[in-house]
Amino acid sequence: MIQPDADLAQLLVYANRILYDQGVVDGLGHISVRHPTQEGVYMLSCNRAPAMVKQEDIVCYDLDGKAVSDTTERPYLERFIHGEIYRARPDVVSVVHSHSPSVIPFAAVKKPLLPIYHMAGFLGEGSSHFEIRDDGGNTDMLISSNALGKSLAKSLGNCTCVLMRGHGSTVVGTSIQQAVFRAIYAEMNAKLQLSAMGIGDVSYLNKEEAALSSAMNDGQIGRSWNLWVQRVGKID
């Protein structure tokens, strides 16, 4: 049996509450983090609404989505998103999956999110697109197996964000804080991009501006994170 890392479990609880407070997740959606010392293991809540997640809900899973810490709780149906992305992307430390509403239209018309402002510099050359019918045929749209998780990870490629047609999106980061930041600003960018597209031709950040902004933001995330933590208040 593998124990969740206590410090990261606490950060993960905050991340769950913050994603709810910021309107990225509702009753559904989840965030995971790689286990800091156990190779091939990640930490994720059991099947719980993000705003209700507590430290004792955090479970360790292997990359196939099998629980490797002591638990009798049901797992999330879509935990395969996390394991298969960690398998495909050694650089990724944290993964957020959500159905945040403003990205849904972009996934439906297969248009990428592009960085409309500096806060979304991480979008770089744009989000990638996932079509579940390509490998899965007609489904309930959920990533409910390792095979579908693999196919999603392939579509993510080297991007930071993949839009999932008819479903939602998944973003990745090198820390819990960065993944939360990206999930919040992917949603915000989608809103602003849609609004700009309605009034004219949009000038997005070019690749260099996006890379410079992204690096700058990474040095500032702590400030936003502290604010978000304060908003969700004391965690019991």
List the catalytic residues.
78
Nearest Cα residue to 50 out of 94, 19, 78:
19
- The b/e string for 143-157 (b: 16+ C-beta within 10 A; e otherwise) is bbbbebbbbbbebbe
Residue 67 makes CB contacts below 8 A (sequence gap 6+) with 59, 60, 61, 75
Q: What's the one-letter identity of residue 8?
A: L
Nearest Cα residue to 32 out of 61, 70, 7:
61
Nearest Cα residue to 55 out of 11, 97, 98, 23:
11
